[in-house]
Structure 1
């Protein structure tokens, strides 16, 4: 990992990464408590790890994800996804108010699609993203 990505990740962590990761962990805990929704909890914990340290990583579609992921994403969208997407949007607004925060605001907005439909996706380093397609 380059020094620039490390610095961006540390700044991200301090300004919004920790808060967004906590939101994902809370969603994951609620999903695991409900037992039937444990797959959603696992996806939420995976995304929380991505949210904490996003620079240098991205998400790609899993090749074997099928109809179950699609149905699961619809359920996720209704019960948790839109809350997390709104949190990303609200968190990005104050970041856009400073010049230094603009890249972090854009990064926050780019995480909205994964917060809406996390199933059938995996987190990979950015240099592997093209190979995974």
Structure 2
């Protein structure tokens, strides 16, 4: 219930704009065939940007326990290209939004969410979004493997 209220307030006070920015970057990436992996990541993170409370980003490698094309060396190359082309701009948008939210005390949790999204903006390839419970279970499972 708290996550639902947080998500509604988030949308009303600016979250919708950054979600739309992620989707716009995804649509631009879809204009080329080589941009499809970035577009997929944009739409996943864009959906998270619309409703971030109650969910958490996690690397697919930690969730599945194995590497795939987005979590290995090719994912690193993709993230470097992404960061140069679009990641900086999305991160800047989230940073500006975080500063605007942090002006008031009630906006501090929203500013923290924007900062988390700004970090993801630099390297969205290889990330996925799951509920907080699933993310915690994946962390526990991975700590047992180590």
After superposition, the C-alpha distances for 1:70-116 in whole angstroms (9 at most, x for unaligned) are 11000100000000000000111111111111110111111111111
Q: Residue in 2 aligned with 1:111?
A: 117
Aligned residue in 2 for 1:130: 136
SS in structure 2 at match of 1:111: helix
TM-score (norm 1): 0.95
Counterparts of 1:21-60 in structure 2 under 5 Å?
21-60=19-58
CA distance in 2, matches of 1:70, 1:26: 23
Which residue of 2 is the match for residue 98 of structure 1? 104
Find the counterpart in structure 2 of residue 13 from structure 1: 11
Q: Indicate the residue corresponding to 1:68 in structure 2.
A: 74
Q: Return the alpha-carbon distance in structure 1 between the equivalents of residues 122 and 56 of structure 2.
A: 15
**Alignment match, 1:77:** 83
The answer for unaligned runs of 5 or more in structure 2 is: 62-66, 140-146
Larger of the two Rg values belongs to structure: 2
How many pairs were matched up? Answer: 131
C-alpha root-mean-square deviation of aligned residues, in Å?
Answer: 0.9
Runs of 4+ in 1 over 6 A off after TM superposition: none
1:88 aligned to which of 82, 94, 105? 94
How far the C-alpha of 1:34 sits from its partner, in A, is 1.9
